[in-house]
Chains A and B, each alone.
Chain A
Amino acid sequence: MSGFRATSGGRFDRARRVSFTFDGVAYLGHPGDTLASALMANGVSLVGRSFKYHRPRGVLAAGAEEPNALVTVDRGPGRITPNCRATEVELFEGLVARSQNRFPSLGFDLGAINSMLKPLFPAGFYYKTFMGPAINGKAKFWNRLFEPLIRRAAGLGAAPTEPDPDAYASLFAHCEVLVVGSGEAGLRAALSASENPAVRVILCEMDHDFGGWLLADPTGARFRDEAIATLRTRPNVRLLSRTQCFGLFLQGFVGLVERVTDHLADPAIDAPRERLWQVRAGRIVIATGAIERPLVFPDNDRPGVMLSSAAHILQGRYGVLPGRAIVVATATDAAYRTAFALADGGARIEAILDRRDHAGERVRAEAEARGIRVETGLTLLGTTGKKHVTGVSYAPMQNQDLRGPSQVIACDTLLVSGGFTPTLHLLSQARGSLRWDEPLSAFVPDKVPENINIAGLASGDFPPELRGAALGLLPGNDDKSALAFVDFQNDVTARDIRLATREGFRSIEHVKRYTTTGMATDQGKTSNINALSIAAESLSQSLPKTGHTTFRMPYVPVTFGTLAGAYRAELFDPIRRTPMHDLAEKRGAVFEDIGLWKRAHAFPRAGESVKAAVQRETRTVREHVGIFDASTLGKIEVTGRDAAAFLDRIYANPVANLAPGRCRYALMLNEAGFLIEDGIVARLSDQRFHITTTTGGVGKVLHLLEDYRQTEFIDLDCFLAPVTEHWAVIAVQGPKAREVIAPLIEGINVAADAMPHMTIREGRLTGVPCRLMRASFTGERGFEVNVPADFGFFAMEALLARAEGLGGGLYGLEAMHILRAEKGYIIIGQETDGTVTPHDLGLGWAMGKAPRDFIGKRGLARPDLLAKGRKQLVGLLPDDPAVVLEEGAQIILQHEPSTGIAAQGHVTSAYFSPNLGRGFALAMLKDGRNRMGEVVTIPMPGERVLARIVSPVFLDPEGRALHG
């Protein structure tokens, strides 16, 4: 029999009971219990199976450092959480928990056969085998046979399969002092820091209750309760329980994660499951305490073997005794105190086996007074039992040698205490350093960043009772046959570590990676120092020279959802809609994502396919008139005395000579000479320009303009502002464009000769201010009507009503793409990919002849950008007019095979044009402009498409439709 609830003691709600199930069996516990304490109270000691050997395992520790007792908590579909530490899972009514990594059951696990084959499974065995003979040089046996088997065997809990419906919250917070850990040290730090009401203090504690060790210590309870009461009265203090500090970053940036509802049987519908606190703290007090280490000896992993401090907490907080007949094996005095407490609680202490030659006098005397048998100067040689410990064997030692025969003491529980390790993960994360303290046998703080304090046990300032250590494999054991576990979860044994060093893995980092010690979900909290010490010993070098592995965040694993927070579904990234979005929606638009914007792709009518709608819209524009929402186009207003001179240096085209009222299509290069943006530069007046950019490019362009304005062309006086959203833009394109706008426009003469192509005018559209641009991205006569955004919706409605009266209608992005491609107009990102120059696109003329400097000018003169044979923009007409090429398809010579050769170029845009009555494409092709008329091949899966190289301007090469 093991584990039971004592009749007194503990800080839980003895009066009430809650029921829960573990592996389908119902049990009772109390509010305030953890799953571990409740299982122990019910005498359940087998709670899990280990990773590799499927060894039966029980609860080892009392908190986040627990390596063994991992369970899956099932709260229904989508709410199944694997790998929860039973020592941290709070009991609630109806809790359903299951053991993991066993088949068919925890009690009878077929995987345990691995334990019998253990000689075949030393560290790194998988690197040496499972390759099988090579088949065609490949490791087919590995891929087909062994890897799938290994994958199935590995892993701990079952993977979730359903979307998690829970919400996760997140907050930024700021404080002058953040205290991590609410033990005595943390409470004192919080009390003193918060005396000044101007000092904001956050105290976070990962446990569900404040107090740390004080909770297990009846003499500490009063201080704990008073401290908490005082802190609660202070408005400058925020107390966060169930809140782990998982990461310390630079400059006082801290990540906390609060468990908000996992402990509730019936959480409020709106409550988030967890909350991320991103804290910026002026000062951080690390008061995270210390973690006890197990002893390393053969079969030290049986259920019933437990850390002494964990047993102490179990008894002190939960009134649970880990067993009835207890042996305590220790290298510290602290474990004596545990023995006394358990004895007081009603357990029988069979013996205290002290690794040391001398125990502390006070504990020794008290043990004697209590009649507890104490033996010193001995080592442990093993345990007996199967799924539970039934006895422990030990032998007296003289120096490093056995002094006498081994003896066995029967027991149902073995408590171990190999010394304490200050919990300094956070200090390391914050780039502090640790130093090995030999008398303490522990790493203690060395260099501490100036904004950090370390308090309590974490500082290495141990009271005498906590000193003492038994590091590494206990003497008297050779590691040949039995398994002396170091890393319990990953089944790393002392001999694995020795094997690693024998095989040449001398760096502790290599040892870690070869054996996987410290890489489990507990990240070696209880095991790292033992592993290190074994490695150091077998390398015959000192422990500090061997060093420790890197501590990384998180301290304890953190839920993905918590780190993602609210940024899911439509909040993942903002959705931007134009002022006319609703109108498009009403007209049945199908939307497309362009950057953050939703843009209308096409407007299919009832019963019409999207494809058909696109064709109809494309035709409508050429034949009548089309209305297009162009509001997302980037717009920047540039003003000031030197606005013209500034833009002249920015654009590859000269713009300084642009007369007020005129527009120019302009190209923007990077300093390397490649095209990165295009748009229209419109001069409103001498010192005011309205420029446009691509939808996605405006942020980048603004950034670039500001860069040159603020840091490069500082001799120039100008000012820029993004005005994209101030102006709603409605493009009116088609032969009847003027007819559509003319009656609505006031104060602008829109006649052909008064307002020719590429001009801009300011006036009114039915009473509201309007910037009217004569420009065209379709090749048709076109106007772009800019009105203040509040008027965009009704302006578009009015223009649309007129257009529809003239046989026109809305068109979407796809029709726009076809229309511009028919004219050979490029789209940045479609015809260009960051490696294309204006010359490549046949736009060299745009740069003008006059000598002037502009961004990218020098870059363009580099040898490879001038070289012959560069890819150039061409048109392609497939032989079969019904064929629409695929964008991205490669182009080869007619006689070349479909594979194994270099491409001549690729298709950049391809559509079916209702205006041409055929498929057509734009392409970038080597030396393309010199190859008009040549027939090339586009290899597609299973076929070869022939196409003729033509000019990229498919319609109206003289541009007649634009004018007039």
Chain B
Amino acid sequence: MHFSFLSLLRQAFANHEGWQPYWQQAAPKPFYDIVIVGAGGHGLSTAYYLASEFGMRNIAVVEKGWLGGGNTARNTTVIRSNYLWEESEAIYEHSLKLWESLSHVLNINVMYSPRGVMMLAHNHHDTMVLKRHVHANRLAGIDNEWLTPEEAKAFCPLLNIEQNIRYPVTGAALQRRGGVARHDAVAWGYARAAAALGVDIIENCPVTGIRRGADGAVMGVETGKGFIGAKRVGVVAAGHTSVLMEMAGVRMPIESFPLQALVSEPVKPMMPCVAMSNTIHAYMSQSDKGELVIGAGTDVYTSYSQAGGLHISQHTLEAICELFPATRRMKMLRNWGGIVDVTPDRSPIIGKTPVPGLFVNCGWGTGGFKATTGSGHVFAATLASGEPHPIAAPFSLDRFRTGRLIDEAAAAAVAH
């Protein structure tokens, strides 16, 4: 059923009895052209674009738990495209453009809110690095502008720009088109749109093995609901990528770390934009519901526990209280963790694997929510044709052999 004010009104008179499920619980068929492992935002958007743009219908998304329950449910929803390297600029900007029309394309309000993402500099080195981003982005036609501390304060009145603090703000790079979106709506919206096009979404169905034929090529996946055959399998399992690829005998350049976030109690609007500081490790925005959404750093060790240490959040809140001293009396309401798949160069891996028919889309680490749109789109193209989409091509697994890394980490330390 189409979502609109009118349909809402009509249902209001019908006691909301007429709404249909966003997606149906599908039972697995014996064989699909493409099986996607992992119903996070990326997996679901891949399925949606496969169906909507590449005309494929015989597709399943297999999810071990509830869809959108991985990092999609856990992220701080920062969306921006002002990355440093051309390859990154291409994929994140592709994604950003898709965000701008996503609500209408999917017919669900994903609340994409381009309220501006401001990245703070605190010293000469930060300034240099962020200005390099500004220049690189401008060259690529991506909006990013440099603000003086006073301009930064005008944009975000909560910000402390006194120069006598431990890490004074020396300036900021602002991408006005950056912002946030409602993470759950994104997952549900893609699921709804994909299901409407005939994609089977199979929840509570963990993939436990990847079956390969005599020629080594993929035949399908073993799951908690039995074997599911497939011509091509796309693994989109974020923090669990290593575990899944191990099933096919492929060792990945990935480590899985706990990444924490927290929200405050809800209050009336206080924070108009997203602000982040890589130097002192904190970032913050305020959701439409009113809670401050704050991201912390990763723990230092690998873990699959979706929980991290208290000292990590403490460190983040120290930084938040320095940057925004008016938040000191705010209260942390809930803290949680996700498992992020971190690559050596902090850039994703999209494309083929050494196993014929097996494709992977992973390594988005601490910053892949913003690419949910574009990643799904280029991965769908890759799965449909069997060859990497041009935007995806540089993000091949092979780059680790040749050394042609896309090192966003070296350039900017963190990337949310």
Report which A residues bind B (CB closer than 8 A).
Answer: 51, 78-83, 119-120, 122, 125-131, 134, 137-139, 142-143, 147, 150-152, 154-164, 166, 168, 247, 249, 253, 255, 278, 431, 480, 495, 499, 502-507, 509-510, 513-514, 516, 519, 521, 523, 550, 552-554, 557-561, 563-565, 567-570, 572-573, 575, 592-594, 672-674, 829-830, 833-835, 859, 862-865, 867, 886-890, 892, 898-903, 906, 939, 941
Q: How far is the CB of B268 from chain A (nearest CB, A)?
A: 4
Would A504 and B410 be within 8 Å (CB), given that A560-B321, A906-B135 are in contact? no
CB-CB contacts of B107-144 with A at 8 A, as 1s and 0s?
01101111000000011110111111111101111000
Would A83 and B267 be within 8 Å (CB), given that A154-B288, A859-B403 are in contact? yes
Once the chains bind, are B8 and A523 in contact (CB under 8 Å)?
Answer: no
Q: How far is the CB of A641 from chain B (nearest CB, A)?
A: 34
Q: How far is the CB of A110 from chain B (nearest CB, A)?
A: 15
- By a CB distance below 8 angstroms, the chain A residues around B330 are 159-160, 559-560
Choose from A138, A139, A163, A255 the contact partner of B328 (Cβ within 8 Å): A163
Choose from B69, B114, B124, B314 the contact partner of A143 (Cβ within 8 Å): B114
Choose from A82, A120, A523 the contact partner of B267 (Cβ within 8 Å): A82
- By a CB distance below 8 angstroms, the chain A residues around B66 are 507, 509-510
CB-CB contacts of B384-413 with A at 8 A, as 1s and 0s?
000000000000000101111101011100
- By a CB distance below 8 angstroms, the chain B residues around A592 are 123-124
Q: What are 12 pairs between A and B in contact, CB < 8 Å?
A: A127-B182, A137-B100, A139-B101, A147-B288, A152-B268, A159-B270, A166-B328, A431-B307, A504-B22, A552-B336, A575-B166, A887-B132
Would A128 and B321 be within 8 Å (CB), given that A142-B103, A506-B25, A557-B265 are in contact? no
- By a CB distance below 8 angstroms, the chain A residues around B128 are 830, 887-888
Choose from A128, A554, A560 the contact partner of B109 (Cβ within 8 Å): A128
Whole-angstrom CA separation of A901 from B122 in the bound complex: 30
Whole-angstrom CA separation of A158 from B330 in the bound complex: 11
Once the chains bind, are A160 and B327 in contact (CB under 8 Å)?
Answer: yes
Cβ of B175 within 8 Å of any chain A Cβ, yes or no, is no
Choose from A129, A152, A157 the contact partner of B269 (Cβ within 8 Å): A152
Choose from B3, B8, B325 the contact partner of A164 (Cβ within 8 Å): B325
Q: How far is the CB of A74 from chain B (nearest CB, A)?
A: 11
Cβ of B310 within 8 Å of any chain A Cβ, yes or no, is yes
- Given pairs A127-B189, A509-B73, 9 additional interface contacts (CB within 8 A): A128-B109, A147-B113, A151-B269, A514-B184, A521-B265, A567-B318, A568-B321, A593-B123, A867-B404
Once the chains bind, are B403 and A672 in contact (CB under 8 Å)?
Answer: yes
Once the chains bind, are B267 and A159 in contact (CB under 8 Å)?
Answer: yes
Whole-angstrom CA separation of A886 from B132 in the bound complex: 9
Question: Which of A159, A495, A865, A888 lies at the interface centre, i.e. has the most chain B CB atoms within 10 A of its CB?
Answer: A159
Cβ of B356 within 8 Å of any chain A Cβ, yes or no, is no
Would A862 and B269 be within 8 Å (CB), given that A127-B188, A154-B289 are in contact? no
Whole-angstrom CA separation of A560 from B24 in the bound complex: 42
Report which B residues bind A (CB closer than 8 A).
Answer: 3-5, 7-9, 11-13, 15-17, 19-25, 65-66, 69, 73, 86, 100-101, 103-104, 108-109, 111-114, 122-125, 127-136, 138-141, 160, 165-167, 182, 184-185, 188-189, 203, 264-270, 280, 286, 288-290, 305, 307, 309-310, 313-314, 317-322, 325-336, 399, 401-405, 407, 409-411
Whole-angstrom CA separation of A156 from B69 in the bound complex: 27
- By a CB distance below 8 angstroms, the chain B residues around A156 are 265-268, 290
* Chain B residue with the shortest CB-CB distance to A554: B332
Would A523 and B333 be within 8 Å (CB), given that A156-B265, A507-B69, A941-B138 are in contact? yes
Once the chains bind, are A561 and B328 in contact (CB under 8 Å)?
Answer: yes
Once the chains bind, are B335 and A557 in contact (CB under 8 Å)?
Answer: no
- By a CB distance below 8 angstroms, the chain A residues around B7 are 128
Would A499 and B19 be within 8 Å (CB), given that A120-B8, A131-B103, A147-B111 are in contact? yes
Whole-angstrom CA separation of A152 from B403 in the bound complex: 50
* Chain A residue with the shortest CB-CB distance to B399: A864
- By a CB distance below 8 angstroms, the chain B residues around A560 are 264, 317, 320-321, 327-332
Q: How far is the CB of A544 from chain B (nearest CB, A)?
A: 15
* Chain A residue with the shortest CB-CB distance to B19: A503
Q: How far is the CB of B346 from chain A (nearest CB, A)?
A: 11
Once the chains bind, are A163 and B109 in contact (CB under 8 Å)?
Answer: no
Whole-angstrom CA separation of A941 from B135 in the bound complex: 9
* Chain B residue with the shortest CB-CB distance to A73: B329
Once the chains bind, are B136 and A890 in contact (CB under 8 Å)?
Answer: yes
* Chain B residue with the shortest CB-CB distance to A75: B329
Would A157 and B140 be within 8 Å (CB), given that A142-B109, A886-B131, A888-B132 are in contact? no
Would A833 and B410 be within 8 Å (CB), given that A504-B23, A559-B331, A563-B313 are in contact? yes
Choose from A81, A143, A163 the contact partner of B113 (Cβ within 8 Å): A143
Once the chains bind, are B329 and A593 in contact (CB under 8 Å)?
Answer: no
Whole-angstrom CA separation of A888 from B313 in the bound complex: 32
- By a CB distance below 8 angstroms, the chain B residues around A567 are 318
* Chain A residue with the shortest CB-CB distance to B84: A833
Once the chains bind, are B109 and A835 in contact (CB under 8 Å)?
Answer: no
Whole-angstrom CA separation of A51 from B185 in the bound complex: 21
Choose from A143, A575, A835, A890 the contact partner of B410 (Cβ within 8 Å): A835
* Chain B residue with the shortest CB-CB distance to A137: B101
- By a CB distance below 8 angstroms, the chain B residues around A503 are 19-22
Whole-angstrom CA separation of A129 from B325 in the bound complex: 36
Would A127 and B403 be within 8 Å (CB), given that A154-B266, A560-B329 are in contact? no
Whole-angstrom CA separation of A503 from B305 in the bound complex: 30
Whole-angstrom CA separation of A867 from B334 in the bound complex: 50
Whole-angstrom CA separation of A553 from B314 in the bound complex: 13
* Chain A residue with the shortest CB-CB distance to B97: A137
Whole-angstrom CA separation of A166 from B328 in the bound complex: 9
- By a CB distance below 8 angstroms, the chain A residues around B131 are 886-889
Q: How far is the CB of B270 from chain A (nearest CB, A)?
A: 3
Once the chains bind, are B265 and A83 in contact (CB under 8 Å)?
Answer: yes
Q: How far is the CB of A154 from chain B (nearest CB, A)?
A: 5
- By a CB distance below 8 angstroms, the chain A residues around B17 are 502
Once the chains bind, are A79 and B329 in contact (CB under 8 Å)?
Answer: yes
Q: How far is the CB of B176 from chain A (nearest CB, A)?
A: 12
Once the chains bind, are B318 and A568 in contact (CB under 8 Å)?
Answer: yes
Whole-angstrom CA separation of A941 from B322 in the bound complex: 33
Whole-angstrom CA separation of A864 from B400 in the bound complex: 10
Once the chains bind, are B265 and A892 in contact (CB under 8 Å)?
Answer: no
Once the chains bind, are A552 and B334 in contact (CB under 8 Å)?
Answer: yes
- By a CB distance below 8 angstroms, the chain B residues around A164 are 325-326, 328-329
Would A864 and B403 be within 8 Å (CB), given that A129-B5, A507-B69 are in contact? yes
Whole-angstrom CA separation of A249 from B307 in the bound complex: 9
- By a CB distance below 8 angstroms, the chain B residues around A672 are 403
- By a CB distance below 8 angstroms, the chain A residues around B325 are 163-164
Once the chains bind, are B328 and A559 in contact (CB under 8 Å)?
Answer: yes
Once the chains bind, are B141 and A142 in contact (CB under 8 Å)?
Answer: no
Once the chains bind, are B403 and A865 in contact (CB under 8 Å)?
Answer: yes
- By a CB distance below 8 angstroms, the chain A residues around B20 are 503-504
* Chain A residue with the shortest CB-CB distance to B286: A151
